[in-house]
Structure 1
Amino acid sequence: MNPALLKHVTQIMEQGSKSFASVTRLFDTATQHNTMMLYAWCRYCDDIIDGQELGRQISNVDKYDAHEKLQMLQYLTRQAYDGLPMTEPAFAAFQIVALSNEIPQQQAFEHLEGFAMDVRGDPCRTLDDTLRYCYHVAGVVGLMMAKVMGVREASVLDRACDLGIAFQLTNIARDIIEDAKTGRCYLPLEWLYQEGLMPDTIIYTENHPALARVASRLIVEAESYYTSALTGLAGLPLRSAWVIASAHGIYRKIGIKVQQAEAQAWKCRQKTNRREKVTLLMAGAMQALMSRVAIITPRDPKLWLRPH
């Protein structure tokens, strides 16, 4: 990777996800660079669809524009896999990481399907719909990250997907109001209806106690996937296991904060502070070490299973 591209993907990572950037420094150099290249592509695709730059709104995108942009992303992704020259840095980075780590083209397009679900406005009527969305936008990223870390065993890939799903369930719970303001709702609609809520009424403060109960259910659901994901640490190199265990702890802590804050959860963005991150990094190191001798338990068959 040339120095200019390395500088670009480093900036994208540091500005786009401070929590993840802090733990990726623990990777060996090659894995860290591959992770930043993959993140840059994911971030670019997300921003293009939403008219954002590093998660910050810079333009309004109507459905027609979003559909055209999605087609552009699909076209460039095919070109990247065909080995054609890439002028957009995010795609140049993705081409390197995808081809050098044998990331299946199908996985890249399954990730883009998550953006397609947003463009189409697919509703999340049930928990299964929410989990399917989580798979496309984050679970499949877990699969690609596992490839970067050298994983090829299907059972370990399943656990990587579980972690991605857990992360996204946490993100959904944390960002409910922010998403609602842009007309999006990833909570199971049947859960909202049980609390007497509608997607267009959840932004009102008087509805936040009921909304907090829905968010708490989502965090409880995430716990099952966080637990399952820990078993996958045994299939990772030790340093990678440390990174993933630390990220696991940091994101899980965010979900716990959302749950504990109840109706006040959306007054400010829930996050971990520096002291908490250091503590969780230390805990992650211990979990990584323990994974070397841990007994592998079977995956819970009740969990949502990725397509094979």
Structure 2
Amino acid sequence: MTHDQPSRDAIVATAQESIARGSKSFAAASQLFEPAVRERAWLLYAWCRACDDIADGQDHGHGMTGVSDGPARLAEITAKTEAALAGVVVGEPAFDALRLFAAETGLPPALARDLIAGFALDAEGWRPRTERDLYQYCYHVAGVVGSMMALAMGVPADDHATLDRACDLGLAFQLANIARDVAEDARAGRCYLPQDWLDEMGIPADDLLAPAYRDRLGLLGERLGSLAGRYEASARFGTPALSFRSAWAVLAAAGIYGAIGRKVAALGPRAWDVRVGTSGAAKLGFIRRAFGEATRRKALYPPSLRDATLWTRPR
């Protein structure tokens, strides 16, 4: 079966609609990019969003239905993604968005496959046993997206040092997300805290939120927030390799998301009394501050070796 090839403009327009519906924050942040980078970011988002929606039975991240046919859904995502990576016109805007993105950025197919492996982990109801497992999961669901976003910004696929720093930002975001959502996840029967950590603190995984464990859980929230901060700090040293506007967007996002991890760490046992977030005024403040940081990025973040004690993405 063949499909008429849609124009790039039509695919980009559909991707823009997808991001407007699925993530107002990312849609707003993407405005900081140069037009060409912005469009590639939309293309990447559209594919990630579609994969997520198929895997979870959602519509643009909303109305999760719960799925009973997880393996079939993963097979569909994989088949359409592999077709797009091979340059085949899929006939679905989100997967044709990936086809364009891959062609325009020199996307290594392994990166797209690594993201799909993250959906497979979630479909299996996977749980981390060790801290290393936690990083591996964060890589598959977010770190790899950081590396792909760097490609959207014009970083060559063989610039591993910069792609490692971009991955660090994705890890920082996911660690902050996990810290913020501990209570929400527990109520939904999910837990992304390593079993080793829970054993160390004497917290049963199926009763995380019991008042008796709240102080100890607060310590784990602080640990996650502090780890997110280490990866965020590392990511900032990748920004001299980016254009001014890309660096501005990355540093703004680092500030906004970093604030979430810092807030969880500061609140300790009270971190989950209300959902931690960043106000609109605070976001504007981070965007203003990031402008100055992007201007001085070469002085602020001089060439340096990445901290060897940080977990490193697979190559």
TM-score (norm 2): 0.92
Q: 2:306 aligns with which of 264, 274, 299?
A: 299
Residues 103, 257 of structure 1: CA spacing in aligned structure 2 closer, same or farther, 3 A cutoff?
A: same
Structure 2 counterpart SS, 1:222:
helix
Residues 265, 57 of structure 1: CA spacing in aligned structure 2 closer, same or farther, 3 A cutoff?
A: farther
Q: Which aligned pairs between 1:201-220 and structure 2 lie closer than 5 A?
A: 201-204=207-210, 207-220=213-226
Q: Please identify runs of 4+ aligned residues in structure 1 that moved more than 6 A.
A: none
Does 1:176 find its partner at 2:182?
A: yes
Tell me if the contact between 1:20 and 1:247 (Cα under 8 Å) persists in the aligned partners.
no
Q: In the alignment, residue 169 of structure 2 is paired with which amino acid?
A: L
CA deviation after TM superposition for structure 1 residue 197, in Å: 1.5
CA–CA distance in structure 1, aligned partners of residues 20 and 267 of structure 2: 27
Aligned Cα root-mean-square deviation (Å): 1.7
CA–CA distance in structure 2, aligned partners of residues 280 and 204 of structure 1: 35
Residue aligning to 1:254: 260
Tell me if the contact between 1:19 and 1:250 (Cα under 8 Å) persists in the aligned partners.
no
Q: Which aligned pairs between 1:124-203 and structure 2 lie closer than 5 A?
A: 124-152=128-156, 153-203=159-209
Structure 2 counterpart SS, 1:56:
coil
Does 1:232 find its partner at 2:269?
A: no
| Gaps in structure 1 of 5+ consecutive residues | none
Residues 29, 17 of structure 1: CA spacing in aligned structure 2 closer, same or farther, 3 A cutoff?
A: same
Residues 17, 259 of structure 1: CA spacing in aligned structure 2 closer, same or farther, 3 A cutoff?
A: farther
Structure 1 counterpart SS, 2:192:
coil
Structure 2 counterpart SS, 1:218:
helix
Residue aligning to 1:118: 122
CA deviation digits over 1:243-300, x for unaligned, max 9? 0000110100111222233333223332211110111001111111111334222110
CA–CA distance in structure 1, aligned partners of residues 102 and 211 of structure 2: 44
Residues 209, 13 of structure 1: CA spacing in aligned structure 2 closer, same or farther, 3 A cutoff?
A: farther
> Which stretch shows the higher mean deviation, 37-46 or 238-247?
37-46
CA deviation after TM superposition for structure 1 residue 170, in Å: 0.7
CA deviation after TM superposition for structure 1 residue 206, in Å: 5.0
CA–CA distance in structure 2, aligned partners of residues 52 and 182 of structure 1: 16
CA deviation digits over 1:61-118, x for unaligned, max 9? 13xx111101110110111012222222211211111221111111100111111111
CA deviation after TM superposition for structure 1 residue 3, in Å: 4.9
* Identical aligned residues as a percent: 41
CA deviation digits over 1:93-151, x for unaligned, max 9? 11111221111111100111111111223320111000000111111111111111111
CA–CA distance in structure 2, aligned partners of residues 53 and 203 of structure 1: 30
CA–CA distance in structure 1, aligned partners of residues 44 and 208 of structure 2: 34
TM-score (norm 1): 0.94
Residues 98, 268 of structure 1: CA spacing in aligned structure 2 closer, same or farther, 3 A cutoff?
A: farther
Q: In the alignment, residue 139 of structure 1 is paired with which amino acid?
A: G
Q: In the alignment, residue 30 of structure 2 is paired with which amino acid?
A: T
Does 1:98 find its partner at 2:106?
A: no
CA deviation after TM superposition for structure 1 residue 192, in Å: 1.5
> Which stretch shows the higher mean deviation, 79-88 or 134-143?
79-88
Q: 1:290 aligns with which of 282, 292, 296?
A: 296
Q: 2:87 aligns with which of 83, 86, 95?
A: 83
Q: In the alignment, residue 70 of structure 1 is paired with which amino acid?
A: L
CA–CA distance in structure 2, aligned partners of residues 92 and 61 of structure 1: 25
CA deviation after TM superposition for structure 1 residue 5, in Å: 3.3
CA deviation after TM superposition for structure 1 residue 166, in Å: 0.7
Does 1:223 find its partner at 2:229?
A: yes
CA–CA distance in structure 1, aligned partners of residues 216 and 63 of structure 2: 29
Structure 2 counterpart SS, 1:298:
coil
Q: In the alignment, residue 115 of structure 1 is paired with which amino acid?
A: F
CA–CA distance in structure 1, aligned partners of residues 15 and 210 of structure 2: 38
